[in-house]
Amino acid sequence: MHYKNNGSFHLPAALMLLAVFTLFSCKDKKAGSAETKNEETEKPADTPGTNNQPDFRLGSFVGAFGENKITLLISSIKGDSVQGRSIVAGNDRPFAGTIKKENTIWKIHAAEPGDHKDDGVFAITIDPAKADTITGSFTANDTKRPAKTFTLDRKKFSYDPAVGNYPMASQRLLTAADVENEMKEDLEFMRNEIFARHGFCFNKKHLRQQFELEDWYVPNTTDIKGFLTDIEKKNIALIKRYEKYAEEYGDEYGR
């Protein structure tokens, strides 16, 4: 039996047209989904840090920076935005800027806030073929200061109580016998070596010069109050007492 729809065509014919339309719509959707999937698959191939692979542009890089040792920490890259920190000469400063790719090379242009006398702008180059090394330059906001160039190697700070000339100061409680015959300068070094093991970035130049010669030393922070162990805190107090005695009694002390 045939029925008419508004007197123009038979209902079965309308159902057939609807089925054809639905079939082609589904094909279009599948094709669109495949194109989207391909775009999502192709995009990460040119973007570091995808497909569960670490982003080689991120990390901690350490090396000579003029007369000092610097740690540049590139901590975040989102799109063309980059953030990080510079730890050098007793300063721990944030920086932010942009990153772009030129051929195969990644280039970062990032500035420190500008509210500190030592702030400036970093130009950093990262070559994927040498991902464990970065090169670049630093231009201080103070135009009287010369620009600096640097080559830094990837090196992550790690606390190790066994390094240094006086590792026992981080490993066990010291006794009077450990410190009573030491000179004031040696006691100062022993005490500050505890801080250095925690990556403390020294403000005093003579301390920087002492510890920055050590391969194990990595500037990492300007505040270590929350990192010192109970043993280290007690040893610091003991050493400071003997430093005071050494200063007061001079040549008569301990000899």
Residues 20-75: tens digit of each pLDDT: 455 555 555 444 444 444 434 444 456 787 777 889 999 999 999 999 999 999 99
Q: Two tokens at 56?
A: 């080689």
Q: Specify whether the CB–CB gap between 194 and 237 falls below 8 A.
A: no
pLDDT of residue 53: 81
Q: Two tokens at 226?
A: 């929350």
Residue 160 CA to residue 199 CA, distance in Å, equals: 10
Q: Specify whether the CB–CB gap between 180 and 254 falls below 8 A.
A: yes
Place of tokens 């640097």: 150
Report the half-sphere exposure of 116 (CA within 13 A, side-chain side).
15
Residues 69-119: tens digit of each pLDDT: 999 999 999 999 999 999 999 999 999 999 999 999 999 999 999 999 999
pLDDT of residue 3: 46
| The three-state (H, E, C) secondary structure of the chain, written as one string | CCCEECCCEEHHHHHHHHHHHHHHHHHHHHHHHHHHHHHHHHHHHHCCCCCCCCCCCCEEEEEEECCEEEEEEEEEEECCEEEEEEEECCEEEEEEEEEEEECCEEEEEEECCCCCCCCEEEEEEECHHHCCEEEEEEEECCCCCCCEEEEEEECCCCCCCCCCCCCHHHHCCCCHHHHCCCCHHHHHHHHHHHHHHCCECCCCHHHHHHHCCCCCCCCCECCCCCCCCHHHHHHHHHHHHHHHHHHHHHHHCCC
Q: What is the pTM of this model?
A: 0.77
| Mean of the per-residue pLDDT values of the chain | 85
How many residues are there in the chain?
255
Closest CA to 91 of 116, 66, 123: 116
Residue 71 CA to residue 251 CA, distance in Å, equals: 40
